[in-house]
Amino acid sequence: MELIDGKKVSADIKREIAAEVEKIVAAGGRRPHLAAILVGHDGGSETYVANKVKSCAECGFVSSLLRFEDDVTEARLLEEIHKLNENPEVDGFIVQLPLPKHISEQRLIEAIDYRKDVDGFHPINVGRMSIGLPCFRSATPAGIMMLLERYGISTSGANCVVLGRSNIVGKPVASLLMQKGYPGNCTVTVCHRDTRNLKEVCRNADILIAAMGRPESVTADMVKDGATVIDVGTTRVPDASRKSGFRLCGDVKFDEVAPKCAYITPVPGGVGPMTIVSLMQNTLLAAKREIYS
């Protein structure tokens, strides 16, 4: 069993990005600039956004954090999005999800100029990705693809089972895995709460991607010997022994599943750090106008 070290891979890629940024700056160019809109004080979102801001600094980017209270109106956020769309100093921006119930996430996502949508959530980017055109790929799926590639995991003809059908992870990762090329060419099955014979379906997987957000629900009896298991889960569970009062728990029962695997990602330190690095890559591409001019 080999542990997939997302922390190391992400640190390597951040160094590569930082070196490229210094070259751009030395040639008289501007540093890439990522802005983030954060609404409210959800603990998970606060941590994610703080990590994004820190990663920007590590990559030599400029970052702006725009904070709003929980009671902000949708109209006020739309106004901010329009300003960011028009601001030539901002290369890309994100609206951290989830948002309070009175705000339509979809309406905000669709208001973002797709050329600045470095989260890859706008329907234009989602559509372009699904037909294999250059686009901003959403961060977690792109991070998973990078891990498969950097570890040289063979994907062509592999049976890949994706657990979960979210717009952020399940659907886009299924779409990327089935595309022509490497990593890709997989035979993909997407499972969800209505899937029958879940255990049998999972046991057929050469690559199993757990992204349903249900802690430790993938058990050893669901995993084929020699499979690659990618754990996208990051549920906070109470843990009195931690200073924070919680620990991050994956969707896979790591201790019993790991011995059966060829490769497995840990939580934390697997997919999580890759998600942020994908966002940094998209921001660099936006700054270089490499996808959309």
Active site residue 52: yes
Burial (Cβ within 10 Å: 0-12, 13-18, ≥19) of residue 113 = middle
Give the binding range for ligand GUN (CB under 6 A) out of 1-9, 91-99, 191-199, 210-218.
91-99
Binding-site member from 10, 55, 63, 96 for ligand GUN (CB under 6 A): 96
Nearest-CB residue for ligand GUN: 97
Active site residue 179: no
Q: Using CB under 6 A, which residues numbered 103 to 132 contact ligand GUN?
A: 119
3-class secondary structure, 282: helix
* Shortest distance in whole angstroms from residue 6 CB to ligand GUN: 15
Catalytic member of 5, 14, 91, 96: 96
C-alpha to C-alpha distance for 3 and 250, rounded to whole angstroms = 15
- Identify the DSSP state of 28: T
C-alpha to C-alpha distance for 136 and 115, rounded to whole angstroms = 8
Give the amino acid at 5: D
Backbone angles phi, psi at 292, to 5 degrees: -125, 130
Q: How many residues bind ligand GUN (CB under 6 A)?
A: 9
Active site residue 14: no
Q: Using CB under 6 A, which residues numbered 128 to 157 contact ligand GUN?
A: 139-140
Angle between helices 139-150 and 170-178 (to 10 degrees): 40
Catalytic member of 5, 91, 117, 119: 119
Binding-site member from 168, 188, 205, 248 for ligand GUN (CB under 6 A): 168
> Which residue number, 275 or 281, has a Cβ lying nearer to ligand GUN?
275
C-alpha to C-alpha distance for 115 and 135, rounded to whole angstroms = 9
- Interface residues with ligand GUN (CB under 6 A) are 94-97, 119, 139-140, 168, 275
Active site residues: 52, 96, 119
